[in-house]
C-alpha cells in the first residue's frame, strides 16, 4: 500500500476532517458526493481533479476517489486513518444500538406475556425495567427471575424471603439488598400492588416475602386457641396477664382452632391492646402494628378459616382506612369505622391530612365525610370509648 504522499500534506487536512465527519453522519460505507469545504487551497483542488477527474469544482465523488486510491492498494478509510481523521462509526454504533434495543424490547414483551400474563401491571413493569436491561438475553432472564419468585411466593404456607430465593433461584441470598433480582422482583410487586416504593418492607411482607420469620410478630391478647403446645402457652400467658407475640415461624406450624362463635378484635395501634391488658378486659385481640405484615395477615387468615369473626378498628386517616379496606377484602369486619363514628370523634384540634381518602365500601359516606373535614382521628383518641364498648 502506497498512498500518494501529497494527500497527507497539512493543506489537505480540512478536507479529510470534513469527509470523516460526513461518514460519521451517513455511515462508514457511504460513497456519495461530498461538498468541498470553503477555503480549500487551489493546489488541493487541482490535485483532486488529477485523482478524480470531473467537471465539478465544488463536490467530491467519494466512490471515484475510492477507486483511485484502490490503484495504490489503499481505500478511503485507510487514507482517513493515515491522515489522523479516523471516522468514529457513530452511525453504525447508533444503528447497532437501535437494533439491540429493538431485540431487547421484543424479547421482554414476549417473555413477559408468556410467563406473567397480560395484566396491566405486567405492562407497567415492562416499561419500568426495560431501560435497565442491556439486551434480549438479560430481558428473558429478568422475566424468568420474577416468574419463578412469584410462583413460589404464591404457594401455600408462609416462608422467608431467603427460603423463597433458595427454592426459586437456587441461592438464598439472591433477593438480598443490592442484588439485581431484588430490584426486579420488588418493581414487579410495586407494579402489581399499585405502590410507589419497590423497596418498602411492607410491600414484601404483604406479598408473602418477609425478610425473616421472627422479626415482625403479631401482638395478641386473650386468644382462646384450642390445643396444646403453643396454643396452651398462649392461653397460659393470658392467664398470667401477659400478651403474646406470635411470629410467622410459629404460625406456619400452628393449627389455629378456636371455639365456635369466637370474635377477635383487631386494632392498628398497640396502645389499645396494652390498655385492654391493663384493664383485664376479657376480649380476644390482635394488633396489626400499622399496616399488617406477614404474621398478622397469616393469623387473621387462619382465624377466619377456623370460623372466627375478626373485626378491625384503625385510624381515621387515609392510611388507616386503606388498611381497613384491605382487611375487609379478606373477610374482616370494619368495627366502629363508620361516618357517624368519625363525625362523633371530630374536634377542632385534630391534625389535618392532605392525601386523598381511598374508597370505604363498607360505608361510602365515610370517604365523603373524611374528604370534607380533612382531619385525622388517631385510634388512641377514641381508645376509652372503644374499650368501654367492649367492656359493656
pLDDT digits (tens, 9 = 90+) for 78-103: 888 888 988 888 887 788 888 899 99
Residues 83 and 100 in one domain: no
- Specify the pTM: 0.61
**Cell triple for 101:** 434495543
**Cell triple for 392:** 359493656
> What pLDDT sits at residue 192?
94
Question: Long-range contacts made by residues 277-282, C-beta under 8 angstroms, separation at least 24?
Answer: 277/221, 277/241, 277/242, 277/243, 279/387, 279/391, 280/241, 281/222, 281/387, 281/390, 281/391, 282/222
> What pLDDT sits at residue 392?
46
Residues 244 and 331 in one domain: yes
269 within a domain of the structure (yes/no): yes
> What pLDDT sits at residue 55?
61
213 within a domain of the structure (yes/no): no
115 within a domain of the structure (yes/no): yes
State how many domains the chain has. Answer: 3
Residues 179 and 151 in one domain: yes
Q: Do the beta carbons of residue 280 and residue 315 sit within 8 Å?
A: no
User: What is the domain range of residue 227?
Assistant: 218-391
Q: Mean of the pLDDT values across residues 348-375?
A: 96
Question: Long-range contacts made by residues 337-343, C-beta under 8 angstroms, separation at least 24?
Answer: 337/312, 337/313, 337/362, 337/363, 337/366, 338/363, 338/365, 338/366, 339/363, 339/365, 339/366, 339/368, 339/369, 341/316, 341/382, 342/316, 342/366, 342/369, 342/370, 342/373, 342/377, 343/369, 343/373
In terms of pLDDT, which residue wins out, 4 or 303? Answer: 303
Q: Mean of the pLDDT values across residues 141-150?
A: 95
> What pLDDT sits at residue 96?
81
Residues 257 and 165 in one domain: no
Q: What's the mean per-residue pLDDT of the chain?
A: 91
234 within a domain of the structure (yes/no): yes
146 within a domain of the structure (yes/no): yes
CATH number at residue 229: 3.40.1360.10
List, for residues 157-192, the tens digit of each pLDDT value: 767 888 899 999 999 999 998 999 999 999 999 999
Amino acid at each position: 500500500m502506497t498512498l500518494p504522499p501529497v494527500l497527507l500534506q497539512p493543506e489537505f487536512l480540512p478536507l479529510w476532517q470534513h469527509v470523516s465527519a460526513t461518514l460519521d453522519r451517513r455511515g462508514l460505507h457511504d460513497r456519495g458526493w461530498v461538498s468541498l469545504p470553503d477555503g480549500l487551497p487551489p493546489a488541493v483542488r487541482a490535485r483532486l481533479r488529477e485523482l478524480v477527474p470531473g467537471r465539478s469544482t465544488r463536490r467530491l465523488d467519494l466512490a471515484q476517489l475510492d477507486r483511485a486510491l484502490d490503484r495504490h492498494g489503499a481505500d478511503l478509510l485507510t487514507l482517513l486513518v493515515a491522515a489522523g481523521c479516523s471516522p468514529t462509526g457513530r452511525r453504525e454504533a447508533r444503528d447497532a444500538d437501535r437494533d439491540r434495543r429493538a431485540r431487547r424490547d421484543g424479547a421482554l414483551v414476549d417473555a413477559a406475556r408468556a410467563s406473567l400474563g397480560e395484566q396491566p401491571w405486567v405492562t407497567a413493569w415492562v416499561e419500568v425495567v426495560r431501560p435497565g436491561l442491556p439486551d434480549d438475553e438479560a430481558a428473558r432472564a429478568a422475566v424468568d427471575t420474577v416468574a419463578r419468585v412469584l410462583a413460589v411466593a404464591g404457594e401455600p404456607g408462609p416462608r422467608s424471603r431467603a427460603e423463597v430465593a433458595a427454592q426459586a433461584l437456587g441461592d438464598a441470598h439472591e433477593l438480598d439488598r443490592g442484588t439485581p433480582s431484588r430490584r426486579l422482583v420488588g418493581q414487579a410487586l410495586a407494579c402489581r400492588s399499585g405502590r410507589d416504593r419497590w423497596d418498602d418492607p411492607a410491600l414484601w411482607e404483604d406479598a408473602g416475602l418477609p425478610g425473616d420469620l421472627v422479626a415482625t410478630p403479631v401482638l395478641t391478647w386473650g386468644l382462646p386457641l384450642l390445643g396444646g403446645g403453643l396454643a396452651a402457652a398462649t392461653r397460659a400467658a393470658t392467664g398470667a396477664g401477659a400478651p403474646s407475640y406470635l411470629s410467622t415461624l410459629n404460625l406456619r406450624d400452628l393449627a389455629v382452632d378456636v371455639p365456635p362463635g369466637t370474635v377477635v378484635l383487631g386494632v392498628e395501634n398497640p396502645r389499645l391492646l396494652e390498655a385492654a391488658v391493663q384493664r383485664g378486659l376479657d376480649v380476644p385481640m390482635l394488633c396489626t402494628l400499622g399496616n399488617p405484615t406477614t404474621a398478622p395477615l397469616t393469623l387473621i387468615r387462619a382465624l377466619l378459616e377456623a370460623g372466627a369473626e375478626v373485626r378491625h378498628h384503625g385510624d381515621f386517616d387515609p392510611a388507616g382506612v386503606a388498611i381497613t379496606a384491605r382487611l375487609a377484602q379478606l373477610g374482616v369486619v370494619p368495627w366502629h369505622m363508620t361516618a357517624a363514628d368519625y363525625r362523633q370523634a371530630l374536634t377542632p384540634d385534630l391534625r389535618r391530612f392532605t392525601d386523598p381518602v381511598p374508597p370505604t365500601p363498607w360505608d361510602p359516606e365515610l370517604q365523603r365525610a373524611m374528604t370534607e373535614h380533612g382531619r385525622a382521628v388517631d385510634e388512641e383518641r377514641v381508645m376509652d370509648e372503644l374499650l368501654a364498648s367492649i367492656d359493656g
